[in-house]
Chains A and B, each alone.
Chain A
Amino acid sequence: MADTDREDEELFTEPSGTQSQPASLSTEDVSANTNGPNQDALFDDDPEDLFAEATEEVSLDSPERDILLSDGPSPAITPITPPTSVIAPRIGHTHDDMFTHSSFDEIEEEEVDDSFDINISVSDPEKVGEYVVHPVQEQKTSMSLFKQREFSVKRRFSDFLGLHSKLASKYLHVGYIVPPAPEKSIVGMTKVKVGKEDQSSNEFVEKRRSALERYLMRTVKHHILLKDPDVLQFLESSELPRAVSTQALSSAGLLRMVNKAADAVNKMTIKMNESDAWFEEKQQHFESLDVQLRKLHISVESLVCHRKELSVNTAQFAKSAAMLGNSEDHTALSRALSQLAEVEEKMDQLHQDQANADFYLFSELLGDYVRLLAAVKGVFDHRIKTWQKWQDSQILLQKKREAEAKLQFTNKSDKLQQAKDEIKDMEGRVQQDERDFEQISRTIRKEVGRFEKERVKDFKTSIIKYLESLVLTQQQVIKSYFTFRYVTASV
């Protein structure tokens, strides 16, 4: 494959091949890496289970925080270098300044390629053998990253969760805002399991399908994540290895995660000497934005609820009008009342459509952003942890220097040499930790910029779709009334 970044890293040669870097986590050994809470306990993979589901409902912001608040990558793994998964050069971009040291910051200087165009759609679930899968279709243009233009694969819900889990463990702790995966839902799963073919289980299916689609779209819109081998494998491989790690959350596992998170949060009251006011301001900003978005979310949910209520009431009104029409002797009046019933039935349908628009275009959007903000908060927290690590190394270095100074006055030359060696190592570590801290700070700055830009686009897109649906609805309302007016005029 074409020129890439660093000489010492192995190149990633094909999307579906096994991953060769020591840094990234391959699907098979995830369970061996305790990157975060015990992965084995995380997900339950029971073929009998539709959706291979969790037994708990996960709250809006727990997954990301828990993964982040756990200890970083185990020492056995060198700091993650995400851009090593770059397969091909970005179109129209040269890599002159790539070969600086061991940090990966330069890779991110690339701007988002404007010729990027990828469209993902997730379809309704189907049963394949014993499992329930979602067909995922992707269409791409002008990307030399991919072998084909169009792809179609089938993925289980647990595959999506597994993808997120992998991405989170690779990228969150170095400052990338990884989009959160859709939530597991006990209630919804149970209803589908029982085989209820009613409206609420259909709604659940659609809600999930839409959430999976949005999740994938957000993930591939991230120019770094898009090139991740796990993402590519997810999108292209006909068969995904059945990863051991993708197990639904058991109640014991959840409890463990929650407790670990609580411990981490307590440790999190680290007083950091914030030298950069930007971070403090941003943190406050995101905290208040979180509050606002939650308020908005509640507000919209209330609106959706009332809209559905209106639909039900309108249907009942229509029915009663029809009954009155049937009891009516006067022919023309009877006809007018029947027409009224028809108009109101149409209104009922329009109210339902409106409620769906309210829900999918706003409620889910706001929910997504509340969860995204949790990921944002997580990367900020990780920056603090990285800073702390750096401070700790400095302290340790200082101790070692003091120890060495003491040893100077003794005649233990071998111990002295050992001390000097250790100091050298430690100095290296301190330097690395400082670089890590600066790196994550830089990454976060860029990510926040990207997030805020995406946010505007996201909202604008949803709002335009919403307004289009509103205009359409009103036009249909007008049409209905015109018909009605024509009929009643002849009474």
Chain B
Amino acid sequence: MMMTEENEVESTLSVCGHNIQIAEVLKDGEMLSFLIVSQKLSGTGEYHVHRNYDDFEWLQHNLFCQEDVAGIQGVIFPPLPAKAQVNTAAKVMKQLGFLSLGEWQPYCKALEVFLQQVAAHSILSKNKAVEVFLTNPDSPGKQKVKKNIFNRLSQAVDGMRKEGHKDVDDFFQTARDHNLVLTNCTKTVTEKLLEVVQTEQKIAVACGHFSAALLLCVEPGDDPNKQAFSKVCVKLSEVFESMKKSTTGVSENDVSTMGLGLDLESRYQEAIKEMLFRRTCKLVELEHARRNAEKAKPVKKAAMEELRKAAETEFEDISRVAKEEITRFEAVRVKMLQQAMVQWCEKQLLTAKECADQFTQHLEVFRGMNFK
């Protein structure tokens, strides 16, 4: 779904990033197991690997823990959906929203997009873990997960206070303000669409019930009036079967295009929020370091200066990467949303036309019914 950028930087990945597929999802005890297919860059051939959620988490942690990469905290990390299992708790299902529907098909799509985004990312794709994840026949998830800087920062006690900390750069202040608004709006839209979809599903079920109940009204016998009424009931039952089918189709279209798109956008806005927060925290750290260096007694001065320099470099790196990321993401995001809306429209148009044809046919049947 996402558009991939031109890969200008050399990637260590031996597979094609933009057409990674999750071909299958299987039940493996309590866990869900995903079959991931990727195309070899050199010549023909594919990699088929089985991964479960723990493996995805392993990958993500590896990406987070690249402390040697300058400005890594400025990266907008492709968001990984929450963990889903064969029997997922109701609370998690609610959190998953659209991804909990449709027999895990949307969920697979979301994981697919995650992998595609990682593989397409100029910095992230260079991480060895990506190659291992995609190509190694064995499951890597059994390795112990290192503690990473992100855990520390996102659990900062005074997080709320830092979030509002005024920025030194207009670009970022605007980005933060805008992100705040967008995050809330997108979350609301996603929730509202989900409610629409859930009601559509209820209607489909109700149509099914009505259709079945009508068949029970069929009356046996030779009496022409009874036969006429029975025919009416049978044909009406067919009408409501059609209605059930079309409502189900509408609902599925909503999920697979607009729903998925909004869900991804929503999670990405959260990812940007986290990234901007990391940078803000770095800013606070930097301002601390500056003050400490200023106030430092001659004995400690040199050490404080070192810390200040390090903080400044880190902050500059983060800001640089962040700016690139934001700019890149903006373009991608607009295209992605537009695609989602276009696909949604196309699918709904098709379903509506089929539906109109069906109902017209039913109408002709009823008009043609002549009873003595």
Contact = CB atoms under 8 A, between A and B. Distances in A.
A118 interface: no
B213 A488 contact: no
B181 A327 contact: yes
A324 interface: yes
B203 A478 contact: no
Interface stretch (B76-84, B100-108, B292-300, B350-358): B350-358
Nearest to B240: A303
Contacts of B207: 303
A216 B71 CA distance: 80
B232 interface: yes
Contact of A317 (B178, B181, B193): B193
Interface stretch (A82-90, A91-99, A450-458): A450-458
Given A299-B213, A317-B189, A488-B342, A306 B199 contact: yes
Q: Give the contact-size bracket for chain B.
A: 35 or more
B219 interface: yes
B359 A470 contact: yes
Interface in B186-217: 186, 188-189, 191-193, 195-196, 199-200, 202-203, 206-207, 209-210, 213-214, 216-217
Contact of A463 (B225, B226, B236, B353): B236
A22 interface: no
**Interface-centre pick from B182, B196, B219 (highest chain A CB count, 10 A):** B196
B70 interface: no
A336 interface: yes
Interface string B316-338: 00000000000000100010011
Nearest to B198: A313
A481 interface: yes
A467 B363 contact: yes
A237 to B, nearest CB: 36
A482 B341 contact: no
A40 to B, nearest CB: 41
B217 A488 contact: no
A308 to B, nearest CB: 10
Interface in A314-332: 314, 316-317, 319-321, 323-324, 327-330, 332
Contacts of B353: 478
Interface residues of A, number: 56
Contact of A310 (B200, B330, B349): B200
B338 A299 contact: no
B67 interface: no
A417 interface: no
Contacts of B191: 320
A478 B345 CA distance: 10
Contacts of A316: 192, 195
A296 B214 contact: yes
B345 A485 contact: yes
A299 B203 CA distance: 11
A136 B17 CA distance: 73
Contacts of A455: 225, 229
Contacts of B217: 289, 292-293, 296
Tell me whether chain A's interface is mostly helix, strand or loop, or mixed: helix
B228 interface: yes
B109 interface: no
Interface string A439-482: 00000000001001101110110011001101100110110011
A171 interface: no
B189 A488 contact: no
Contact of B203 (A307, A452, A456, A482): A307
Given A310-B200, A336-B338, A488-B338, A467 B185 contact: no
Contacts of A330: 330, 334
Interface stretch (B31-39, B54-62, B364-372): B364-372
Contacts of A324: 182, 185-186, 188-189
Contact of B185 (A302, A317, A327, A482): A327
Nearest to B236: A463
A340 interface: yes
Contacts of B203: 303, 306-307, 310
B356 A474 contact: yes
Contacts of A329: 178
Given A313-B196, A474-B356, A485-B342, A452 B229 contact: yes
A471 B243 CA distance: 11
A264 interface: no
Contacts of B193: 317
A491 B185 contact: no
B178 to A, nearest CB: 7
A309 interface: yes
Contacts of A327: 178, 181-182, 185
B192 A303 contact: no
Interface in B28-79: none
Contact of A314 (B186, B196, B330): B196
A463 B242 CA distance: 14
Contacts of B232: 456, 459-460, 463
A489 interface: yes
Q: Which 3 A-B pairs have the closest CB atoms?
A: A474-B356, A452-B225, A317-B192
Interface of A: 285, 289, 292-293, 295-296, 299-300, 302-303, 306-307, 309-310, 313-314, 316-317, 319-321, 323-324, 327-330, 332-333, 336, 340, 449, 452-453, 455-457, 459-460, 463-464, 467-468, 470-471, 474-475, 477-478, 481-482, 484-485, 488-489, 491
